[in-house]
Amino acid sequence: MIYDLLIKGGRIYDGSGLPSYLGDVAVKDGKIVETGRISGSAKRTIKADGLAVSPGFIDFHTHLDAQLLWDPLATSSCYHGVTTVIPGNCGLSLAPCKEPDRDTILRSFERVEAISLPALKAGVKWGWTSFPQYLATLRGRLGVNVAALMGHCALRQFVMGDASLQRAATPAEIHQMKEVLKAGVRAGAIGFSTNQNPVHMYADGTPIQSRFATDEEIIELACALGEINQGVVQISRGSLGVSVPMRESVQLFDEISSRSGRPVIWQSITHRWDKPNEWRELLDLAKESIDRGVQSYPLCNARLFNNRLTMKNAQVFDDLPTWKAILFLPLEARIAALKDPATRRKMRYEAVEEKKPSRFSRRWDLVYMIKAATPANKHLEKKSVAEIAQIRGQDVIDAFLDLSLEEGLDTEFQTSSTNGDEQAVAEIIRSPFVLVGQSDAGAHLIYDAGFGYATRLLGYWIREKNIMSLEEGVRKLTFMVASIFGLRDRGLIRPGMAADLVLFDPATVRECEPEMVQDLPGNEKRLIQKAVGIEATIVNGEVLVQQGDHTGALPGAVLGNGNGAALPAAA
Ligand SMILES: [Zn+2]
């Protein structure tokens, strides 16, 4: 046999977690056909001496639903060895969607995922109503593979219209939603996602559709998947333990999975500065479900969740009522409010003194000025607000607000409320039932870029901190994800499996600092992120990215139908 592609002399990390070994991998017709020592000839041979060869990474938490329509490579994910992306998380998807609801559905992404509305309007060329039609729009035009979840918001809007933004569903409406969901999954959706995060809303403050759902509605929808024995449930409820006690949330995840018989992926276990031991309680609670044989898997992030902010545009203060109200004011009124001493007193109370849990850490020593808007303040860049306050002889709130006001609210800051305690994060990542990756690729475009969760795990956590073996890290990024999400022919290097592969250098692999670019439809801005040490990203047997450059190939497929097989191309 003449192979299409032969990868010679690499060290194979096959995804199973077994010890790696030196060997070759041969590919024909998009599939792995042989592994071991291979002497046959091939149309193309890649020498992989000194490199690791692993299954492609599966980014299971993305919001690339819209971006995939104008960017088939899913940049920057493809630069980090990601060969399959899963959009449709957190209750949000672009299908199903009736024509009169298009604007409402686009806007559901605007604040929750912080994707610029002008970019969405310019980039999304509507042409579908049903979920299969959306998948058909993607099919044949993809660089990476896509396995998509149906979002609860779109599903509710589709069945209930604008009542989905006002109330719980009736039994008849739930029945209809179940039918639409089943049809979508039979035709290629890999499950459904829902979201009860109390800070997830439209730009005008209206809660998103899925927040009006009762627990019973969510369980019923999960049971629809159970009826066809296909698909997963992804659920996000925001900071667990803020609005509902943690135990209740974890019990709900357990109930969804045990009643439907389908895997549940829930968000998330992170270290938080305001509740430094919560992660351990959550791990213990999660383990109770796992021990009883329930498929309920928490996810975690391999990195700090950074938030960039200016007082023109910030979401990190959403749990602080005065701050939130001010950030919704028109600019002039906002400036006036920020100067008002009485308002400042309230802001100081909420952001310094109050003890109520909040996404914002109240750690002003962890809020850094990253970009001054005026040359006079350049010397303060990279300093924390606490340091700046000391330099200016003010308290932190006055320093932060006065500096912002002096610069027309354009001063850029960055902070992170979660995952600051490395020992805690290492323990979370190592847990055998925790999924690693919360990239949110395609979302929070100007606040943060998390494309590099896999390169972060391989470079920082495994090479530098040695928290687990490389074999185990690769397993977490590949076979574990493919198995839970039902992508049966992905995530392992074995004959017969799809040839989604990544070649990387374990000695150098890492993620780069995000960079701001202006490449979105509508000339809008976003952060991108490059990688070091990723030699090649191979999708269905074709090299998609080589040393950071797109080869021109578009080998991506729509995965789904419950068996992980690529659906046939649309006629
Ligand atoms: Zn999300």
Q: What pLDDT digit, counting tens, does each position of 509-536 carry?
A: 999 999 999 999 999 999 999 999 999 9
Dihedral over Cα of 401, 329, 242, 284: its sign: negative
pLDDT class of 568 with cuts at 50, 70, 90: very low
In 3D space, the residue among 432, 431, 435, 479 whose CA is nearest the CA of residue 453 turns out to be 435
The overall average pLDDT reported for the chain is: 93
What are the backbone angles phi and psi of residue 85, rounded to the nearest 5°? -115, 145
Residue 387's Cβ-side half-sphere holds a number of Cα atoms within 13 Å equal to 11
Q: Give 41 Cα–ligand 1 centroid separation in angstroms.
A: 45
pLDDT class of 243 with cuts at 50, 70, 90: low
Range in 16-20, 246-250, 466-470, 555-559 with the lowest mean pLDDT:
246-250
The 10 Å CB-count burial string (b at 16+, else e) for 14-48 is bbbbeebeebbbbbbebbbbbbeebeeebeeebeb
pLDDT class of 114 with cuts at 50, 70, 90: confident
Q: Give 146 Cα–ligand 1 centroid separation in angstroms.
A: 16
Residue listed under structure tokens 């509507």: 126
Which pLDDT score, from 0 to 100, does residue 570 have? 33
Which pLDDT score, from 0 to 100, does residue 242 have? 63
Strands 368-371 and 42-47, sheet pairing: unpaired
Average pLDDT over residues 25-32: 98
Q: Give 412 Cα–ligand 1 centroid separation in angstroms.
A: 24
In 3D space, the residue among 231, 192, 187 whose CA is nearest the CA of residue 485 turns out to be 231
Range in 216-230, 446-460, 480-494 with the lowest mean pLDDT:
446-460
User: Which SS3 state, helix, strand or coil, does residue 268 take?
Assistant: coil
Q: Give 140 Cα–ligand 1 centroid separation in angstroms.
A: 26
Q: Give 291 Cα–ligand 1 centroid separation in angstroms.
A: 27
The C-alpha atoms of residue 517 and residue 49 are separated, in whole angstroms, by: 35
Q: Give 130 Cα–ligand 1 centroid separation in angstroms.
A: 22
Which pLDDT score, from 0 to 100, does residue 566 have? 46
Q: Give 450 Cα–ligand 1 centroid separation in angstroms.
A: 11
Q: Give 193 Cα–ligand 1 centroid separation in angstroms.
A: 10
Q: Give 91 Cα–ligand 1 centroid separation in angstroms.
A: 8
The C-alpha atoms of residue 416 and residue 418 are separated, in whole angstroms, by: 6
Which pLDDT score, from 0 to 100, does residue 560 have? 83
Q: Give 453 Cα–ligand 1 centroid separation in angstroms.
A: 14
What token pair was written down for 249?
């949330």
Q: Give 269 Cα–ligand 1 centroid separation in angstroms.
A: 14
Which pLDDT score, from 0 to 100, does residue 565 have? 44
Average pLDDT over residues 127-138: 96
Which pLDDT score, from 0 to 100, does residue 240 have? 66
Q: Give 281 Cα–ligand 1 centroid separation in angstroms.
A: 23
Q: Determine the longest span between alpha carbons in the chain, in angstroms.
A: 79
Percent of the chain with pLDDT strictly greater than 70: 97
Average pLDDT over residues 311-319: 90
pLDDT tens digits for range 150-173: 999 999 999 999 999 999 999 999
Q: Give 366 Cα–ligand 1 centroid separation in angstroms.
A: 24
Q: Give 104 Cα–ligand 1 centroid separation in angstroms.
A: 18
Percent of the chain with pLDDT strictly greater than 90: 85
Q: Give 443 Cα–ligand 1 centroid separation in angstroms.
A: 8
Looking at mean pLDDT, say which of 29-38, 274-283, 304-313, 437-446 comes out highest.
29-38
Strands 264-267 and 296-300, sheet pairing: parallel
**Cα 412–Cα 444–Cα 256 angle in degrees, nearest 5:** 140
Q: Give 89 Cα–ligand 1 centroid separation in angstroms.
A: 5
- Name the β-bridge partners of 44: 5
Q: Give 92 Cα–ligand 1 centroid separation in angstroms.
A: 8
pLDDT tens digits for range 371-429: 999 999 999 999 999 999 999 999 999 999 999 999 999 999 998 877 778 899 999 99
Which pLDDT score, from 0 to 100, does residue 40 have? 92
Average pLDDT over residues 347-357: 92
Residues 6+ apart with CB under 8 A from 27: 3, 4, 5, 6, 7, 33, 499, 501, 538, 541
Which pLDDT score, from 0 to 100, does residue 567 have? 44
Average pLDDT over residues 416-443: 91
Q: Give 379 Cα–ligand 1 centroid separation in angstroms.
A: 36
Answer whether residue 302 shows pLDDT above 90: no
Which pLDDT score, from 0 to 100, does residue 447 have? 79
Q: Give 235 Cα–ligand 1 centroid separation in angstroms.
A: 9
Q: Give 62 Cα–ligand 1 centroid separation in angstroms.
A: 6
Which pLDDT score, from 0 to 100, does residue 112 have? 84
Which pLDDT score, from 0 to 100, does residue 238 have? 79
Q: Give 141 Cα–ligand 1 centroid separation in angstroms.
A: 24
Q: Give 90 Cα–ligand 1 centroid separation in angstroms.
A: 5
Q: Give 544 Cα–ligand 1 centroid separation in angstroms.
A: 26
Which pLDDT score, from 0 to 100, does residue 245 have? 77
In 3D space, the residue among 410, 510, 507, 363 whose CA is nearest the CA of residue 451 turns out to be 510
Q: Give 448 Cα–ligand 1 centroid separation in angstroms.
A: 13
Q: Give 113 Cα–ligand 1 centroid separation in angstroms.
A: 7
The C-alpha atoms of residue 132 and residue 122 are separated, in whole angstroms, by: 23
Which pLDDT score, from 0 to 100, does residue 571 have? 28
Range in 123-127, 183-187, 303-307 with the lowest mean pLDDT:
303-307
Answer whether residue 18 shows pLDDT above 60: yes
Which pLDDT score, from 0 to 100, does residue 416 have? 80
Answer whether residue 110 shows pLDDT above 60: yes
Which pLDDT score, from 0 to 100, does residue 241 have? 63
Q: Give 54 Cα–ligand 1 centroid separation in angstroms.
A: 26
